[in-house]
Copies of this chain bind each other. A is one copy, B any other.
């Protein structure tokens, strides 16, 4: 039976790329495996796939009980298909906090490491096989690292992310600053998206002090057009929250080049969260958080409602 490899819902570059990378590795080492996505990949992920000549993986339409699967880039059942705990989870490879809720019937392989991208960890777990991977696989690993580290600007960046990206770029003849700029430009063109779509580009669910939050992050090299839409974005939040079973949407607009985030604070709850979590005074419709770039490392661990 073919093992299906997939990452989280709202697939970004690391979730999409890591599924393809690991399915390649499993097939390369003799196990039938194919990548899947749980939704349309992000604009940046689509750019990366196109750049390296890799097809968009098929959408996971359903997950029959007992299907062998490998989960990459998440360990949170809320970010996975409903039937995930009835699948035959063979392995989980991730770099996020432990969420709880994922269960298996027998012992599995689970590897979580605090590196910046799941692809970094895949490279390490491949034990040398990455060296003879096709150019496209190497290109995907490099792209995932540049995406998740925001070209090494994010505080999640470790020495090992930096070293592996450097090796791959040299091997592939890629100029990192020029290539990363292309990737970020692809991600930053959001002019065609509605306010609700913008809130859902990269949104994850967390329950903090009993309040269900959708923590949306927009990473961009061109924040101005997004910040000009704050009123519209704030107006779209209640409906997005209701449709996604949350109490509040928290939107962080991350300015990749200036290395700062703007948190949108349209109501008392959002302002309270801003004050309790980041120790800032929030009075207007947004608040600037200098140095904040990483949801994983700088946002989720400090979130407080009370």
Stretch at the interface among A100-108, A174-182, A275-283: A100-108
Spot the interface stretch: A45-53, A164-172, A244-252, A294-302. A294-302
With contacts A89-B98, A100-B100 taken as known, whether A114 is within 8 angstroms of B108 at the C-beta atoms is: yes
Give this chain's copy count.
2
- A163 on the interface (CB 8 Å rule)? no
Which A88-129 residues sit within 8 Å CB-CB of chain B? 89, 92, 95-114
Give the interface size class of chain A: 20 to 34
**Contact with A301, one of B89, B101, B102, B106 (Cβ below 8 angstroms):** B106
Contact A97 B106 (CB under 8 A): yes
Please report A residues at the B interface, Cβ cutoff 8 Å. Answer: 77, 89, 92, 95-114, 156, 296-297, 300-301
Known: A105-B301, A106-B301, A110-B110. 20 other contacts (CB 8 A): A89-B98, A92-B98, A96-B107, A97-B103, A97-B104, A97-B105, A98-B103, A98-B108, A100-B100, A100-B101, A101-B101, A106-B114, A106-B297, A106-B300, A107-B113, A107-B114, A109-B112, A109-B113, A110-B112, A111-B112
